[in-house]
Structure 1
Amino acid sequence: MIRFLLTAMLATTSLSAVAAEPAATVRELNRGPGQDETFAYDPAIIRIPVGGSVRFEPTDKGHNVTPIQSLWPAGAPPVTVPFNAEGTVTFERPGVYPVQCTPHAGLGMVALIVVGDADLAAFVPRVSSASGLAPKAKAKLSALAGAAG
């Protein structure tokens, strides 16, 4: 009986050690969490380990998730969550992954997914020279990277 209990305890411990971490949840909002903030991801900075996942939740309609190509890590697969759809994305490589809502990026609807021990110091100067990015999106990305670093 003791051997059975010990074996059961060890099996339970092993299984819980390999259980996947729940995905971080990011809500897509028309009204942001901050006062007078509109069109935002909440949270706007997400830190996950390599192999971690992010679940995008369309709390309000009219939003999607796409990569900011000019700042996306080289060789990393793109992230795309369609309009009004929930999607979970797993990140297998360390890096800083900036995403945007296509119609609201100009209004600052951007977020940073920081995977593993990504180098935010190297990311910050790239934001100011990024092509095709609206001034409000650049400003928010710079602020997010500064806050995350």
Structure 2
Amino acid sequence: MMIRTTLAALLMMTGTAAAADPAVTVRELNRGPAAGDTFAYDPALVRVPVGGSVRFEPTDKGHNVAAIQSLWPAGAPPLTVPFNSEATVTFERPGVYPVQCTPHTGLGMVALIVVGDADMTEFAAKAASAPGLAPRARAKLGVLAGAAGQS
């Protein structure tokens, strides 16, 4: 996995246009897309192919993106996008990558990045018993895993 601050910077460094599909944008929000939804990533469920990218956009201030380590795929590089920073992350390995906004995890500000084919049933079971995960975050990850398993 590789973090790039902007796609434009990458294009300037390489001098070529990106060959892959453009990155999927995930916005970091104080108010989510659904009525009454607060502190959310939008969308909270993203599917990308292996080698696909996700662009994290700090639409509202006060948010970051960090791996949920207890559920992170074994051997995958860590992920941290600092507060109020934009970054594009390329996922080179298949798996389910759960992320959180560290100050708002307890309020359910989590998202799932599903890369390639992944066993959502296995992930949902792991999420249900993950140590130290706030109840709202656990519940939202379960809903997202269920939705990912149906698509």
- The CA distance in 2 between the partners of 1:98 and 1:107, in whole Å, is 15
- Report the counterpart of residue 26 of structure 2 in structure 1: 26
- Report the counterpart of residue 120 of structure 2 in structure 1: 120
Q: What amino acid is the match of 1:69?
A: Q
- Report the counterpart of residue 3 of structure 2 in structure 1: none
Q: TM-score, normalised by structure 1?
A: 0.87
- The CA distance in 2 between the partners of 1:73 and 1:20, in whole Å, is 23
- Report the counterpart of residue 6 of structure 1 in structure 2: none
- The CA distance in 1 between the partners of 2:93 and 2:19, in whole Å, is 20
Q: Which has the higher helix share?
A: 1
- The CA distance in 2 between the partners of 1:112 and 1:78, in whole Å, is 15
Report 1:1-149 matches (<5 A).
Answer: 19-149=19-149
Q: Percent identity?
A: 77
- The CA distance in 2 between the partners of 1:116 and 1:133, in whole Å, is 25
Per-residue CA deviations over 1:109-138 (Å, capped at 9, x if unaligned) read 000000001111111100111011100000
Greater C-alpha Rg: 1
Q: What amino acid is the match of 1:55?
A: R
Aligned-pair RMSD on alpha carbons?
1.4
Q: TM-score, normalised by structure 2?
A: 0.86
Size of the aligned set, in residue pairs, is 134
Q: What amino acid is the match of 1:50?
A: V
SS at match of 1:56: strand
- The CA distance in 2 between the partners of 1:139 and 1:54, in whole Å, is 23
- The CA distance in 2 between the partners of 1:145 and 1:71, in whole Å, is 12
- Deviation, 1:147, is 0.7
Single out whichever of 36-45 and 118-127 deviates more from structure 2.
118-127
SS at match of 1:47: strand
Q: What amino acid is the match of 1:146?
A: G
- The CA distance in 1 between the partners of 2:145 and 2:66, in whole Å, is 18
Q: Which of structure 1's runs of 4+ aligned residues deviate more than 4 A? A: none
